[in-house]
Amino acid sequence: MHVETISIGSELTSGATVDTNASWLARQLARLGLAVARHTTLPDSMGPLVTHLRTLSTNPARPALVIVTGGLGPTLDDITREAVADAFDAPLQENADCRQVIEEIFRKRGWNFAANNLRQALIPTGAEVLPNPRGTAPGFYLARDDVHVFCMPGVPLEMFGMFTEQVAPRLRQLTGGGTVILERVLHTFGLGESTVGETIAAHMERGRNPEVGTTVADGLVSVRVRARAATEAEALAMLDLEAQALAPLLGETHIGNDDDRLPQVVARLLAARHETLAVAESCTGGLLSKMITDVPGASAFFIEAAVTYADRAKTALLGVPADLIRQHGAVSEPVARAMAEGLRSTAGTTYALSTTGIAGPTGGTPTKPVGLVFIALAGPRGTTVAQLNLPGDRDRIRQRAALAALNLLRLELLKPE
């Protein structure tokens, strides 16, 4: 089956949800054995979407599956309904059930009913309604001459639910099984992409099955393994085998797979050992703490964080001697050490992590340039301090510093007790 996804972007400038949707859908479709041949983002005006949908009728690849996200909202620039109706000659009709559902949502939540919401009850003739229990915009499914078009709202949470509950079961029926493509991603931290690629070069030949590639995202270099097989069990076995071969090559830099990134790995190790953590942040300004508490259940081991942005806070909350800061500067090895040790002692936790550095864009000096960061880990076996010289802008320096601190803790937790 030829598979395409389309995002209706607000003139392509609206930001992150477009790609969140496209990548999420690509992963879900892969699990159903469907590889996305192309993703297209179109502006929120009728013409380009109508043209794009019409070219599907001249494309000989059949059956074809097209999943459109976005453009189903209540406002005039939400054009997906009209474009599909136009491209497939399926005039819009008000759907009484949809109208009732929308009116009820507004009544229940006590919102003022804005009349333009009724636009969301319009559905192309012949289309099947896909209910949306998480929002006001229903989706729909239109099948024409072996071209299957699914339209879903662009709000990720609503789309994820609608795909899982409404679209995936219909796709399973349409495809009737066939090839299964499964993917596993091995995340690494500490080496550059080209070094990782060189390390596993023998696995990265084109045309292999499983196929292996590398990507860089969110501060990690990740190795992506994709297996094609007749059944899920077979594909899974192939992934297991390939991961077993790759892991020793990646060694200690291999932090985890799929959704298992540094915060999740550290959380699991700490919870298993019934140990606790506190965090003293300066340059990362709450990011390290935020990453840790992104993990549901972090309260089992995470006691507190002190974001001591001002020097006086470092002294008052962490007991860092004012003299030490005067002598070495807030961004220094001794202050990073004192922050971690001070917090570990007042919070009474097994471990304490600290960060202090110059995230920029200003504040750098010749001896302490932007990107200079000290991270420290205080624990039962003493304190470790590491100096980092990070490239990039403020966001990237903060992200890398927080990840490096988590990795310092991960490596400590992996040592034999």
Residues 5-34 that bind a second copy (CB under 8 A): 5, 9-20, 22-23, 26-27, 30
The reply to whether 225 sits near a second copy by the rule CB under 8 A is no
33 touches 117 (CB < 8 A): no
CA distance 375 to 49: 50
* Candidate list 145, 164, 165, 217; residue touching a second copy; CB under 8 A: 217
Residues numbered 240 to 269 that lie near a second copy (CB under 8 A) are: none
As given in the structure block, the two tokens for residue 55 are 């070219």
Give the residue, chosen from 299, 366, 367, 382, that forms a contact with a second copy under the rule CB under 8 A. 299
Cβ closest to a second copy, residue 298 vs residue 377 = 298
Q: Are 176 and 238 in contact (CB under 8 A)?
A: no
The minimum distance between CB 191 and a second copy, in angstroms, equals: 10
CB 77, CB 44: distance < 8 Å: yes
How many other β-carbons are positioned within 10 Å of the β-carbon of residue 14? 15
Binding status of residue 183 toward a second copy by CB under 8 A: yes
Identify the residue whose tokens are 């920029």. 360
Q: Is 195 in the site for a second copy (CB under 8 A)?
A: yes
Number of residues forming the site for a second copy (CB under 8 A):
105
Judged by CB under 8 A, which of 103, 193, 275, 412 binds a second copy? Answer: 193
Contacts of a second copy in 140-169 (CB under 8 A): 155, 157
Of the two residues 170 and 290, which places its CB atom closer to a second copy in the complex? 290
Instruction: Candidates 286, 319, 334, 364: give the one binding a second copy (CB under 8 A).
Output: 286
Using the Cα atoms of residue 121, residue 159, residue 44 and residue 77 in order, give the sign of their dihedral: positive
Q: Which amino acid is at 343?
A: L
Nearest distance from C-beta of residue 106 to a second copy, angstroms:
9
Among 133, 177, 251, 361, indicate the residue that binds a second copy (CB under 8 A). Answer: 361
* Interaction between residue 209 and a second copy (CB under 8 A): no
Q: Is 61 in the site for a second copy (CB under 8 A)?
A: no
Please say which residue, 188 or 222, places its beta carbon nearer to a second copy: 222
Which amino acid is located at 382 in the chain?
G
**Which of these segments, 4-12, 57-65, 140-148, 260-268, binds a second copy (CB under 8 A)?**
4-12
Is residue 96 near a second copy by the rule CB under 8 A?
no
Comparison of 71 and 124: residue with beta carbon closer to a second copy: 71
For the residues of 368-384, what is the DSSP string, one character each?
Answer: S-TTEEEEEEEETTEEE
Tokens encoding 408: 């310092």
- CB-wise, 128 or 133, nearer to a second copy? 133
The answer to the question of residue 224 lying near a second copy (CB under 8 A) is yes
Instruction: Please name which of 65, 59, 67, 52 lies closest in space to residue 1, comparing C-alpha atoms.
Output: 65
Strands 220-229 and 211-217: antiparallel
What does the block give as tokens for 78? 């939400």
> At closest approach, how far in Å is the CB of 205 from a second copy?
7
294, 295, 299, 303: CA torsion to nearest 10: -60
User: In Å, how far are 28, 35, 130, 135 from 164, measured between CA atoms?
Assistant: 9, 17, 11, 15
Cα distances (angstroms) measured from residue 167 to each of 116, 170, 171, 206? 26, 5, 6, 32
Per CB under 8 A, the segment of 61-69, 208-216, 239-247, 258-266 that binds a second copy is 208-216
- Examine residue 312 and tell whether it contacts a second copy (CB under 8 A): yes
Nearer to a second copy, 22 or 413 (CB): 22
* 72 vs 378, beta carbon nearer a second copy: 72
Among 112, 173, 244, 367, which residue interacts with a second copy (rule: CB under 8 A)? 112
> Residue 73 interacts with a second copy (CB under 8 A)?
yes
Of residues 366-405, which lie at the interface with a second copy (CB under 8 A)? Answer: 392-396
Instruction: By CB under 8 A, tell whether 69 contacts a second copy.
Output: no
Q: Which of 93, 79, 166 is nearest to 124 (CA)?
A: 93
Helix 262-273 vs helix 394-414: crossing angle, to nearest 10: 30
* Residue 48 touches a second copy, criterion: CB under 8 A: yes
Phi and psi at residue 8, to the nearest 5°: -90, 105
Query: Most distant CA pair in the chain: distance in Å?
Result: 78
